[in-house]
A and B are shown apart, each in its own frame.
Chain A
Amino acid sequence: MTTPTTSPSTVATLSAQQVTLRAGERTLLERFTHTFYSGEVWCIAGPNGAGKTTLISALAGLQQPAAGQVELDGVRVADWSPVPLARRRALMPQSAHDAFSASVLDIVMLNRFPHLAGWGWEGEADRAAAHAALDLLGLASVATRDVLSLSGGERQRVALAAVLCQDAPLLLLDEPLSHLDLHHQIDCLEALSAWVAGPKRTVVFSCHDLNLARRFATHALLLDGTGAAFAGPARDVLTPALASRAFGYPLILLQDGGYEALIPAPRPRNAQRGSADPAS
């Protein structure tokens, strides 16, 4: 069942090979080949509907690409057994539903599932991992609260704590920063940057804030939603030229001392209202 690849096998890697993603008739991504190495923090950016969620889902092995394949440590993700795969990579979906009340600690501890043995009751190690993840994101004080009483932003951070306590070296996060206010966005990204320094760790997250991506991601993957993708170091990819092209709206880079910001250019007065979103 293992098919070793020609890619360098000394580092643990996630690689997409000739991956094509489609949504109905539309081609989102065409023959995309790329390798994500450990120690890297990747931001996937692009306009709405460009395929960020679809790509993350395909990288996680939840969705079969229309063509091509995704490999993790040289083995196709489709060939991994579910539980070892869950110990290797964690996925934070865009939104989690909570229909029933439960304590935050219990919700976070659900992600210890791939590590449970016997009758499936958590041990002290699982409890400790959950507390450590909550501490890392500054959530220790809400551990006993009911998830249904949390705000959208708190719920988002709880979901992030949950994937962290899954203890998988590869984190795939779909919009982890949505619903978060600015300082929590920065806290979370700082926590992820510190986390990725551990052995074999990689973070891939999708994000709408190009400036946060430029600041915290080591690399960026820009999707334009029509098949093309630009991958590379964040500052080489999230440039005014490439971002303008991907988002279909002119962006300019402001520089002030050591600080930089990508902002949408003022709209020309006689320009037609475009359909593409400006980067927010």
Chain B
Amino acid sequence: MHARRAAAIWCVLAALALAVLMASLALGSVPLTPARVFAALLPQPSHSGAPADLAGEIVRSLRLPRAFAGFACGALLAVAGALLQVLLRNPLAEPYVLGVSGGAASFALFAMMAGCAWWLVDASAFTGAFVSILLVLGLARRELWRGEPQDTSPRLLLTGAVIAAGWGALITLLLTLAPDDRLRGMLFWLTGDLNGGGLPWLALAALVLVLVAILPAAPQLNVLLRGDAAAQALGVSVMRLRLRVYLVASLAAAAAVTTGGTIGFVGLVVPHTLRLAFGNDQRMLLPAAALGGGMAVMGADLVARTVIAPAQLPVGVITSLIGVPVFLWMLLRRPR
């Protein structure tokens, strides 16, 4: 792949993401013209007319943070999915498969059941994600670190899948025991919800951190796909790279789940769609996954809050409803 082609792909995706962002700011229960959205985004002259302020308030304090939270969540999930697929050399890998989302959900639901404040729920989700990671890492450490030239994927993947199943059981248990008045909020959290007191700036900061930490390693990741022995022989420190990928992917997944709950299918569908369309060069794919994933969740959230407005759907339902057929179509259309 040429660097020029990759840059062209990024530019197109960035333009599309920008268009979805504009739509997210303009559409909703109070539709706004693009001109008014721009006006609201520009620095306000102090104490301007009262009517303009309402639109400005809606854009600045409701729609913009929510769109940014959606973008950051989607970007983090897609990057985490792409990284785990490379790490495990398995196209089916995803944050859910390794139990990261399940751990976050279990801890968050427990906090919600106990009636904790939103920030404590978020902190619990983040803790849960990392507990889950440490659990998988601890149980499968021999597979992950062994420097032998063999495929370490199956056991790590199975470990993650079993841990995820365990979290699934715990989530069901918590939902069964939950008092009725909390159940609805818990279910919304579980399916992915950008409506809560999310912190878009923390998620965006996590996204920047994740990209800075992993993009320089993209050429090494390409080589890692050929197998540990081949990568080692080409001068890649395979174990260090694996640890770095695992930690970065985990941070990304934890930050995303904390911000938006469990938004499904983004980590699986977005990297695959981009891979089928443009190839599997990680140097191109990782930034593209960030842009594409961000765009996807931002768009899905736009649909979720407008389609049956003023009521809102959980964004996770939309991503799954759109993601499943798109993924099947992309997969089946391709001649083998």
Instruction: Give me the interface of A with B, judged by CB distance under 8 Å.
Output: 57, 60, 62, 81-86, 89-91, 93, 95-103, 106-107, 110-111, 113-114, 116, 119-121, 148-149, 166
What residues of chain B lie closer than 8 Å to A166, measured between beta carbons?
Answer: 234
A93 touches B230 (CB 8 A): yes
Which residues of chain A have C-beta atoms less than 8 A from B218's C-beta? 120
Report chain A residues within 8 Å CB of B147. 62
- Chain B residues lying within 8 Å of A107, measured Cβ to Cβ, are 226
CA distance A62 to B281 in the complex (A): 26
**When A110-B226, A119-B3, A120-B218 are in contact, do A62 and B235 touch as well, CB less than 8 Å?**
no
Closest to B6 in A: A121
Specify which of A85, A93, A101 is in contact with B235 (CB 8 Å cutoff): A85
B36 at the interface (CB under 8 A from A): no
CB distance from B8 to the nearest CB of A (A): 14
Report yes or no: A148 in contact with B2, Cβ–Cβ below 8 A: no
Q: Are B149 and A111 in contact (CB under 8 A)?
A: no
Cβ-closest 5 pairs across A and B: A120-B219, A86-B235, A91-B233, A82-B235, A93-B229
Q: Which residues of B are in contact with A by a Cβ distance under 8 Å?
A: 1-3, 85, 89-91, 147, 149, 151, 218-220, 222-223, 225-227, 229-230, 232-237, 275, 279-281, 283, 336
> Are B1 and A106 neighbours in the complex by a CB distance under 8 Å?
yes
CB distance from B272 to the nearest CB of A (A): 10
With both chains docked as a complex, state the minimum distance between the C-beta of A108 and any C-beta of chain B, in angstroms. 11
- Are B236 and A82 in contact (CB-based, < 8 A)? yes
Secondary structure dominating the interface of A: mixed
Check B227–A111 contact: CB distance below 8 A.
no
Which A residues are CB-close (under 8 A) to B2? 121
Do residues B229 and A113 form an inter-chain contact, with CB atoms below 8 A?
no
Cβ of A265 to closest chain B Cβ, rounded Å:
36
Could you tell me if B225 and A86 are in contact, using CB atoms closer than 8 angstroms? Answer: no
Q: Using known A-B contacts A83-B235, A86-B235, determine if residue A96 contacts B227 with beta carbons closer than 8 Å.
A: yes
Residue of B222, B275, B283 contacting most chain A CB atoms (<10 Å): B222
Q: Nearest Cβ in chain B — how far from A56, in angstroms?
A: 10
Contact of A90 among B3, B89, B229, B233 (CB under 8 A): B233
Told that A97-B226, A102-B281 touch, could you supply 4 new A-B pairs with CB distance under 8 A? Answer: A62-B233, A82-B237, A106-B281, A120-B218
Q: List 30 A-B contacts (CB under 8 A).
A: A57-B149, A57-B229, A62-B233, A82-B235, A83-B235, A86-B234, A86-B235, A89-B233, A91-B230, A96-B227, A96-B230, A99-B89, A99-B225, A100-B91, A102-B279, A102-B280, A102-B281, A103-B279, A106-B281, A107-B226, A110-B226, A110-B234, A113-B220, A113-B234, A113-B236, A114-B235, A116-B219, A119-B3, A121-B283, A166-B234
Q: Complex Cα distance A152/B3, Å?
A: 31
A171 smallest CB distance to B (angstroms): 11
Q: By the criterion CB–CB under 8 Å, are A99 and B235 in contact? A: no
Determine the distance from Cα of A99 to Cα of B87 in the docked complex, in whole angstroms: 11
